[in-house]
Amino acid sequence: MGIDQECQMEVKKLLAFLFLFSCFTLAIAIDSKASFFNWGACLRWRITGICRIVCTGGSCHVWVTVNHWRPDEVSETVNIPGDSIWGESFPGIMASLFDAVGGSLPSQAVTGLSGSGGGGVRTATGPIMNEKFYESHVFGVPWETMVLDQPFLARWGCEGGGAGPFYVSEPDPFWHNDFRDPGSAAQSSMIGLWGPLYPRQGRAFHGSDVVASALLSYRAMDLSAGVDGKEIQLGYPTETGCMTPGADPRVWDHNRGKPGTGGKYLWAYWTPVTCCIQLN
């Protein structure tokens, strides 16, 4: 048998192994070891083809195209300025967050804020039905954190993610008033059934705390890491599956926004990624 025939046989064996491996992997329930990421519902790992074959000395090496979703950012809302769900999980991160915006915890910008029922000043006076006001923070999720939470990614994942804070609302004066995005029509910027994107500030009007939080987290993401092509997943205090921003709350809220949660929620933002990974 010639070398070319040997290589062809090797490739056929690898293709058979690839098919079996893909079926086996997709049948495995991919669970999260930590508290925020719903890997089983959101990872959606797939092998979609072969991206490279190198044959030398009678043996062949195959690279496969892998597609999956990756939780590159988290965006949280809190009721108390300086509070943080992500920061409680990673001690010291809040100090880094406020250092990044030129202050210490608590910074002058944070201690100077006032207003009841939320994290900052509201321009409206008097009670407004279903008004919610929360501070928001956006963090990058380091690749090392993802691998620690889901070891499967170390071998079969597309590396990425980021580190450090992308946005903190406490020192941002425009988060605490209606002056950002002048001339932008709220009704033409609706995020599905959640509410308007504009103006991008910390006040929302909704009967459900968790839906208001989703909208405010989306605004903070839009101001910082961006939202194009991403899906969102509630990670704290309970988990949902991934969904398109603006998804009908009747499908996923299920009383998660009941009074008493205080606006303290964390959302993971998942990005579709593709890479070429060596199979053998």
Domain boundaries, the chain: 3-69, 70-270
Q: 112 near 99, Cβ under 8 Å?
A: no
DSSP 3-state of 273: strand
- Tens of pLDDT, residues 28-85: 445 554 569 999 999 999 999 999 999 988 788 999 999 999 999 999 999 999 999 9
Identity at 72, one-letter amino acid code? D
State the CB neighbour count (10 A cutoff) for residue 217.
Answer: 28
What the block records as the tokens of 277 is 């990974």
Q: 16 near 50, Cβ under 8 Å?
A: no
- Tens of pLDDT, residues 143-177: 999 999 999 999 999 999 998 899 999 999 999 99
Q: Distance between CA 123 and CA 120 in Å, rounded? A: 10
DSSP 3-state of 62: strand
- Tens of pLDDT, residues 184-242: 988 899 999 999 999 999 999 988 899 999 999 999 999 999 999 999 999 999 999 99
Contacts 24+ apart (CB under 8 A), 30-33: 30/150, 30/152, 32/149, 32/150, 33/148, 33/149, 33/150
